[in-house]
Amino acid sequence: MNEDDLIERIRADDPRAFKDLFDSNVSLVYNVCLRMLGNRQDAEDVTQEVFFEAYKSLKRFRFESKLSTWLYRIAVNRSLNHQRKRKLERWLSFDFDSLDRSDKDSDAPGMPENGPDGAMEKKDTERIVRAAINSLPDQQRLALLLHRYEGLSYEEIAKVMGVTVASVESRLHRAKQALAKKLLPLKKEL
């Protein structure tokens, strides 16, 4: 179905049109939220927020980008807002205990308590890589996630992030450099 027709059906209050929009884009939005938030429950909550916002705002859609790019942008903004809110809640509740526990949980792969099982080692490696990605500055992490895991082109990422293609290239380059530094010890252990 053509995006323009779908939007016009939604604007005409066709009740099935928004369901069609939801069905065709829910996995795209959920995957972005999950990669950014790292938590299924949070990703589900933010995905609902994204579609609620899209429903309210679709009448103002200006056809300057693809509908999926517009939804990506809403998902990214909502995810970043959710992360900021969580950080503030943690800080306000002085939940330093949970931060200490998460640091202890990030033991390096190959430690005796992990055993020789390859699946466990792989899981540890994935956790370390995920933690390294999550430690990147927001804009670098976002560019990397959209490019590497969502398969967006530099031009599409630029539209989602509201920046130039050169800025996307720069952020991706800095993200890759930072990850290489953070993951170099892991590579030496493997």
Highest mean pLDDT range out of 1-5, 11-15, 113-117?
11-15
Higher-pLDDT residue of 171, 186: 171
Q: Is the pLDDT of residue 137 over 80?
A: yes
- Total count of domains within the chain: 2
**What is the model's pLDDT at position 48?**
95
Q: Which residues have a Cβ under 8 Å from the Cβ of 42 and sit 6 or more positions away?
A: 33, 82, 86
Residue 3 sits in a domain whose CATH number is 1.10.1740.10
Higher-pLDDT residue of 139, 63: 139
Q: DSSP readout, 22-66?
A: HHHHHHHHHHHHHHHH--HHHHHHHHHHHHHHHHHHGGG--SSS-
Q: What is the mean pLDDT of residues 149-164?
A: 88
Is there a single domain that holds both residue 139 and residue 187? Answer: yes
Is there a single domain that holds both residue 113 and residue 72? Answer: no
H helices present in the chain, as ranges: 3-11, 15-37, 40-57, 67-93, 96-104, 118-134, 138-144, 154-161, 165-189
Is there a single domain that holds both residue 15 and residue 36? Answer: yes
What's the mean pLDDT when you consider all of the chain? 79
pTM strictly above 0.75:
no
Is there a single domain that holds both residue 133 and residue 85? Answer: no
Q: Please report, for residues 19, 100, 139, 166, the alpha-carbon distance to residue 127 in angstroms, rounded to integers and kept in the order given.
A: 35, 17, 21, 30
Is there a single domain that holds both residue 48 and residue 119? Answer: no
**What is the model's pLDDT at position 58?**
82
- The pair of three-digit structure tokens given for residue 27, joined into one six-digit string: 């996995």
Domain boundary among the residues 34, 64, 96 is at 96
Higher-pLDDT residue of 58, 112: 58
Q: How many whole angstroms separate alpha carbon 61 and alpha carbon 70?
A: 9
What does DSSP assign to residue 113?
G
Residue 126 sits in a domain whose CATH number is 1.10.10.10
pLDDT-derived band at 187 (thresholds 50, 70, 90) equals low
What does DSSP assign to residue 14?
-
Is there a single domain that holds both residue 81 and residue 135? Answer: no
- The pair of three-digit structure tokens given for residue 90, joined into one six-digit string: 């943690």
- Determine the structural domain holding residue 56 and report its residue range: 1-96
